[in-house]
Amino acid sequence: MNNDSGIDLGNADEFTVAQKVGQLFMLAVFINDSDEEVEKVERIITEKHIGALCFFHSRASTATNFEGKKKVLFNENSYERLKTLVKKYQEAANTPLLIAIDAEWGLAMRIENTPRYPYALTLGALRHKEDLIYEVGRKIGMDCLQAGIHWNLAPVVDINSNVENPVIGYRSFGDDKEQVTQKAKAYLKGMRDVGILNCLKHFPGHGDTKTDSHLALPVIDKSERELLKNECYPFEKLLPEHIDSIMIGHLALPQVDDSEKPATLSKKVITEILRNRLGFEGVIISDALNMHAVSKRFPKKGDLESEAFKAGMDMFCFSEHPEEAIEKIILQKDDMRIQTSFERVWKLKQKTFKLSNSENDKVLSTEQLNLEIAKNCITELFGNAHKKLVNNHYENALNLIIGNPKTNLFSTNLEEILGIETHTLAPPSLELVQNRSKNKNHIVIALFPPSVKPQNTFGFDSALLNALNDLLNLGNCSVYLFGNPLVLNLLPWNRANAYVLVYQDFPEFQKIAYQHFTGKIPALGRLPVQLKMNHHEI
């Protein structure tokens, strides 16, 4: 098991049992940690022979603090800090660490001032454009490698079958299992071609839930047959694509495992279904073990990891008590089982540290790639918004901005180039703007949801939503939605209105939206999820 590349992994045959168990742990580390916290991590890495790290922005930004109201501080130097910490932690390690991160839509998911790419749901709107999704995977892989990261914990291959899903939603390619599979395949190939490790998540499928597993345990009350036919479909079909790892979601599956254990701790799910039935041979990694769906079940330090290991887990992500957990796994005295998991992790290290990342062919810039995606994903519902303005008479039209975008090139162009009167619809001026709207032939609404997640009506104030509903009931509106298309479930349907899905609020998408409005480009996208459409008959 020696590695003959330029990076010395050491002789794995000489590792003690404790050192092998240490290699199974992926610590959570934070870009904005204090020096004292960094020193503590360095000590654990050195003393416990930790195998991997997963970078997060800050302790305040971790998902379990969604309800904690801890303020997340902006740090414009996060990227440089990340690279500094990668070097520092590697120097503390006895064996080179695997460095991981959640970069589903790029490093920007965790790090300020880094390239950001469209959400998976946006990519789901593309039709027959897997080449663009391939480029997204490739660009993200290159960005990761330049930062010293080897392992992108992506893509999400959950099928977004529940419109009320609070945590997957926009992170999924859509609600069609075939489309999810094909788009994930293109993303994976892009990453693979630049030498970045991948991870399918969240097995056996987190798409059909109404509960956020960061905060509580979701229940998927489906039979094993149903799961294999639907939720597990992308995982199974993608196995031939050189899958490095699969992440287990924190999900209760009462029809599959009547022990009431979440999938993270279920031998039935991990060993019998994923390992034996589907035949996956790579690393099985836990979702973050600090998540309340599982962490609240185990008050004794180390018990959670020990139980997950018994179920067949290979690697423990975001273990909060690695020192105690390592001791409890050693006490199981299952050296053969330890060796098996260790060899899987070691194989990833051999693959990573012997790769020589050759120069890549010329690739599109991030801006060019985002423009191409925007051009090909923009989606019309119920007709062309441009044609709603009879004979291009803009003088009796009104543009209303809803939300608070950092930039709004769409509305700026409507006002400065086309001369369309523009106002922001906000609580202090709701009545005034509504009165002005009544005298206009056409209203163009630039809709920027405050949140991409459905909690609390995507962050919209109730009075603002009511005003928007009143406007749409007039039947002379064109809505350009720069966000999650599931926002439309909050709005009244009316064929007299035009609904245009732009999906992202990036400047590139705003430019394309304006070009669409002026009739310069067609809408080529396809809605990747089903809407409720339960307000009005359409």
Catalytic residues: 214, 287
CA distances in angstroms from 329 to 151, 303, 344, 412, listed in the order given: 25, 9, 17, 60
Could you tell me which of 402, 415, 507, 413 has the C-alpha nearest to residue 458?
Answer: 402
Instruction: Report strand pairing: 498-501 vs 379-381.
Output: antiparallel
Could you tell me which of 160, 129, 98, 173 has the C-alpha nearest to residue 344?
Answer: 98
- Report how far residue 58's alpha carbon sits from residue 71's, in angstroms, rounded to the nearest whole number: 10
Q: Which distant-in-sequence residues (6+ apart) come within 8 Å of 526 by Cβ?
A: 125, 126, 127, 379
Q: Residue 444's beta-bridge partner residues?
A: 399, 478
The type of residue at 154 is A
Q: Provide the 10 A C-beta neighbour count for residue 88.
A: 14
Tokens of 142: 């290159």
Q: Order the strands of the 151-152 sheet from edge to edge.
A: 151-152, 98-101, 52-56, 25-30, 316-317
- Report how far residue 160's alpha carbon sits from residue 210's, in angstroms, rounded to the nearest whole number: 11
Start-to-end CA distance of the chain, whole Å, equals 64
Q: Are 246 and 203 in contact (CB under 8 A)?
A: yes
Long-range contacts (CB closer than 8 Å, 24 or more residues apart) made by 65-69: 66/212, 66/214, 66/215, 67/215
Helix (H, G, I), strand (E, B) or coil at 326: helix
> Residue 397 carries which DSSP code?
E
The secondary structure of 135-157, three-state, reads HHHHHHHHHHHHCCCCEECCCEC
Q: For the CA atoms of 166, 298, 344, 133, what is the dihedral angle to 10 degrees? A: 10
State the burial class of residue 61 (Cβ atoms within 10 Å of its Cβ: 0-12, 13-18, 19+): middle
